[in-house]
Amino acid sequence: MPRRATRQVQVGRVPVGGGAPISVQSMTTTKTADVDGTLAQIYSLAGAGCDIVRCTCNEVEAAEALAQIVPRSPVPIVADIHFHHRLALAAMEAGVHALRLNPGNIRKPDQIKAVASEARDRGISIRIGVNGGSLDPDIAQRYGGSTPEALVASAVRELDYFREVDFDDVKISVKASSVPVMIDAYRLLADTVDHPLHLGVTEAGPPPAGLIKSVAGIATLLAEGIGDTIRFSLTADPVEEARAGKQLLEALGLRERTSVDLIACPSCGRAEVDVIAVAQAAQVALAERNIPLQVAVMGCIVNGPGEARDADLGIAAGRGKGHLFVRGKIVRVVPEAEMVEALVAEAEAIVAEGIEARLAAADEHAEEIANATRDELLQIQGHDVNHSDERAVRVRSRADD
């Protein structure tokens, strides 16, 4: 999908905008002054696919801790600043790679420009982080509340202050807890400025509702080519935010796959196993291995391999057996109790040897066994569970009357 053209900024070694890959962000929930605890969470976030991590800098002790955290972090660190501009100056002294400023919380132009001037001199980028819940009262009154126009006006006013001191190393977010407002605000902002945009639905809440709202907002804009870095704002372990962001980008084809894409049928009367249980067990087992394949779990051999023929690998149940298939071809038949184990072993073999090698290593009798099982199930369950052939005859007879 075509991406919106923007200027580019750096957050440490991570480029944002200007055609750079879309990055994933999250924020620590530890007390920043707890250096070891914060670093442990940063490493967990990086391992889950996070490219940039934000830490609150709400007190002097937090700023002091950042001086120890930044050089030991595996990813760039952004200091989150609210109310006190001097903490922004302290965070830059601590060596952070970027700042996030909320225009609704630091409102004095001289303070805003002082921070921007220091960032300019140090080569540090700033995110203007507008939030629908903390708009400057005069803007909220002028536009009738947290409207898309109000969010964008707040960002533009902050940007104007930055420009007065020749600072434009900026990315912008205009987050709202309402998905429609968030989408409209980012669309308007994209038409107003050429800065890279940080996408998110603020205060989305706990999963699954928070995930749904975040995906609805972020994915809609990414599909339109809008957005350069993303964050899921969930009431949950921030590692879940990082995983969700990474998985969304992979699902949209905006990031190279590094983890499993597990697809599974929703189950039906034909299913020969508990599809939900098997799929969940396979998801857990494969996720631990970071296997970059599309893997299918199908409830029956009748339709499974055909419906999931585009998957790299899959397994379909039938009469106490698991029928393992690679790109739609049955390669092995295993006992039902060993389905997940066999699926994981074959996935590891594909990663090590390649698809063609595994197809060549197929059990020569596997297809024959699968066909026999399929025929047996069709005899039991019927070729036409909806009786469509009989209906067609009755339809024709009524039409000919």
- Return the pLDDT at 300: 76
- Return the pLDDT at 386: 46
- Return the pLDDT at 90: 97
- Return the pLDDT at 238: 97
- Return the pLDDT at 381: 60
Number of helices followed by number of strands (H, E) in the chain:
15, 15
The token duo for 362 is 């197929």
CA 55, 61, 63 angle in degrees (round to 5)?
A: 50
- Beta bridge partner(s), residue 171: 127
Taking the C-alpha atoms of residue 102 and residue 164, their distance in angstroms, rounded to an integer, is 18
- Return the pLDDT at 385: 46
Taking the C-alpha atoms of residue 205 and residue 212, their distance in angstroms, rounded to an integer, is 10
The token duo for 321 is 């057996």
pLDDT along the chain (401 residues), means of 10: 93 97 98 98 96 97 98 98 95 98 92 97 97 91 95 97 97 97 98 98 95 98 98 96 95 89 80 82 86 87 73 85 88 90 93 93 81 71 53 71 66
Pairing relationship of beta strands 261-264 and 229-231 according to DSSP bridges: unpaired
Q: With DSSP H G I counted as helix, E B as strand and the rest as coil, what are the percentages for the chain, rounded to 5?
A: 45, 20, 35
Number of residues that this document lists for the chain: 401
- Beta bridge partner(s), residue 322: 317, 334
Q: Residue 357 CB: number of other CB atoms within 10 A?
A: 11
Residue corresponding to tokens 């036409």? 384
- Return the pLDDT at 390: 66
Taking the C-alpha atoms of residue 14 and residue 233, their distance in angstroms, rounded to an integer, is 21
3-state secondary structure at position 230: strand
Nearest-CA neighbor of 195 among 170, 215, 178?
170
Cβ atoms of 100 and 82 closer than 8 Å:
no
- Return the pLDDT at 298: 85
The token duo for 272 is 């020969």
Task: Please give the domain boundaries of the chain with CATH numbers for all domains.
Answer: 8-251 (3.20.20.20), 261-381 (3.30.413.10)
- Return the pLDDT at 382: 56
